[in-house]
Amino acid sequence: DAGVIQSPRHEVTEMGQEVTLRCKPISGHDYLFWYRQTMMRGLELLIYFNNNVPIDDSGMPEDRFSAKMPNASFSTLKIQPSEPRDSAVYFCASSYDGGEETQYFGPGTRLLVL
């Protein structure tokens, strides 16, 4: 398996622009997680899905952030409008609901908002 795939790997945008991050989970995995990583706050869980349904979005910073999972093989995290404080590395992870709780992380998207 190719593992969790994220795109783009790097994104540079200007404040106020819309940013869309994409994730393809490992085939057969039931859970998908979106994380944000910064030096100051470490790894923060933003939202996670089970069978394409959002389960916990309490980590989503504010209404500027939204996430969707239209099918089992694709998810997006959108920031509109983006702000400099959104600059971070965004990770997508997936896991399988078979008793094992291992989360498999993608390579991340490094976002810089100028």
Question: Which stretch, 15-23, 67-75, 77-85, 91-99, contacts other proteins (CB under 8 A)?
Answer: 91-99
Distance CA 8, CA 93 (A): 15
Q: Binding other proteins by CB under 8 A: which of 4, 26, 46, 69?
A: 4
Handedness of CA 14, 71, 56, 95 (dihedral sign): negative
Q: Which is nearer to other proteins, 48 or 65 (CB)?
A: 48
Q: Minimum distance between the CB of residue 33 and other proteins, rounded to whole angstroms?
A: 8
Distance CA 101, CA 114 (A): 37
Q: Does 81 bind other proteins (CB under 8 A)?
A: no
Question: Which stretch, 15-23, 60-68, 72-80, 97-105, contacts other proteins (CB under 8 A)?
Answer: 97-105
Please provide residue 2's backbone torsions phi and psi, each rounded to the nearest 5 degrees: -80, -10
